[in-house]
Amino acid sequence: MTHYSRLSVIVIDVPPGGHDRELAFWREATGTPLTPNERFPEYHGADLASGFGLLVQRLGDGPARIHLDIHTDDLAAEVARLERLGAQRLGRLEFWQVMRDPAGLVFCVVEAPPGQLTGANAHRWG
């Protein structure tokens, strides 16, 4: 079955003690208001002029890091495709799958709202 996906969001993961400072830094560095997510208050984000989204995420634990989100219109198909390329599943939350790439870096595959991804803004697989 065919599906669409694209690299969509840069996520800056920050432990609680540094979150507010990091959030203020990225607001100023990008000149973009990073607004809180109503459903997930640990996220503040915006769409950037580059076509990428930027999120600053308050972690429950773990070190500061950056991870990437791939958005897709078919979560199961995209996760399976990435597993064939060498990625591993780490855990499933709400509407996204946390994965690890072959080098050991964490990334997420996120289900996009219907109709958001098209041939004009994403890659068609299959």
For 3-12, what is each residue's pLDDT tens digit?
999 999 999 9
pLDDT on residue 49 = 85
pLDDT on residue 47 = 94
Q: How far from 3 is each of 9, 10, 26, 101, CA to CA, in Å?
A: 19, 22, 33, 20
In whole angstroms, give the CA distance from residue 87 to residue 40: 26
**Domain 3-125 maps to which CATH number in 3.90.226.10, 3.10.180.10, 3.90.950.20, 3.30.1300.10?**
3.10.180.10
In whole angstroms, give the CA distance from residue 24 to residue 21: 5
For 38-49, what is each residue's pLDDT tens digit?
999 999 999 998
Indicate the average pLDDT of the chain.
96
Residue 47 main-chain phi, psi, to 5 deg = -85, 135
Give the pair of three-digit tokens for residue 4: 């669409």
Diameter of the chain measured on Cα atoms: 45
Average pLDDT over residues 9-36: 96
Ordered by start, the domain boundaries in the chain are: 3-125
Q: How far from 116 is each of 27, 34, 51, 73, CA to CA, in Å?
A: 26, 21, 13, 8
Q: Does the structure show a pLDDT above 80 at 91?
A: yes
